[in-house]
Amino acid sequence: MSKEKIKPNDVIFKGDPSAVIWQSDVSVLTQKSKIYSRKDCDIIFLRKGVYLGSFNDREEYYLINDKRQSLFQLLFKDAKTSEDCQVYYINRLAQLENKWGTPNKIDVYDRDFDLHTFVGANGAYKFSVNNSMKLFSKVQGAHEKLTQEMVKEFFKSELNVEIRNAIATVFVKNKYGINDIAVITTKEKKIASDIKEILQPIFSEYGVEVNKFFIERFFYDEDFINLMTSAKKDNIINKMKFDMEKDQRKELRKENKHDKPKFAFCNECGHKNPVGAKFCSNCGSKM
């Protein structure tokens, strides 16, 4: 390849290796034009905006049109040149990473307490192209190329709302409530896995696959959590006091039950007399 001279109508990748989609500047092809593949890239052909075909040879600098004459028949027919051609290289293996966050807090309702609070979260996800044509048709638009940053920005703006909705769905599905919030960090991996499962079909619509999904941290209404924690502490202390007083009352009843009376009172005058007296020492009435 290095010794072979590239002619003006030959198509070869000259873009940034990190580009996700790159368009060749060659728009006029001849029957003798050479189209070179790029390893790990899909190549899409259009003429006047009409899709003609795509190829994904895995060899670097493979001459695609050596064995793909059917495509060139569509391009040229009886003509020697074909104008208004577009050749795109789509990087299939570039793994992109986006940071995400919930700009608006997610409402959480707890049935046990009949109360509302909110959570927020942030993290990151990694994704790669698994359907070049879908990505091309959804994202390319009027761009001659798509850098990694452009693709990342597209998905960041398109999918942040979907991530927020996915988190809300997971909380409702698993019935996470106020009691769970304090220990929700121990469940981050499970929640991340559930969110990834929800997001995958949405990403697939754009021809990409979610490879990994991370949750870095959850945010809570700290004043509310502190208030709930304080209320729980007060409730525990009050219950302890009640139980102690209950035990004391129980012991006192036991003591009173077993104590023998030392005095007897006269039914006539109410005077206190020793137990066993037959007559009141004050009025003489019979006890």
At 97-124, the pLDDT tens digits run 999 888 777 777 767 667 777 788 889 9
The correct answer on CATH 3.20.20.140 for the domain covering 96-220 is no
For position 63, what pLDDT does the model report?
A: 59
Q: 217 vs 197, which has greater pLDDT? A: 197
For position 125, what pLDDT does the model report?
A: 92
54-63, 212-221, 259-268: least confidently modelled range:
54-63
CA–CA separation, 92 and 43 (whole Å)? 10
| CATH 3.30.479.30, the chain: domain bounds | 96-220
For position 138, what pLDDT does the model report?
A: 81
Q: Is residue 52's pLDDT more than 70?
A: yes
Q: 92 vs 75, which has greater pLDDT? A: 92
For position 159, what pLDDT does the model report?
A: 81
Q: Are 82 and 75 in contact (CB under 8 A)?
A: yes
Q: Are 9 and 29 in contact (CB under 8 A)?
A: yes
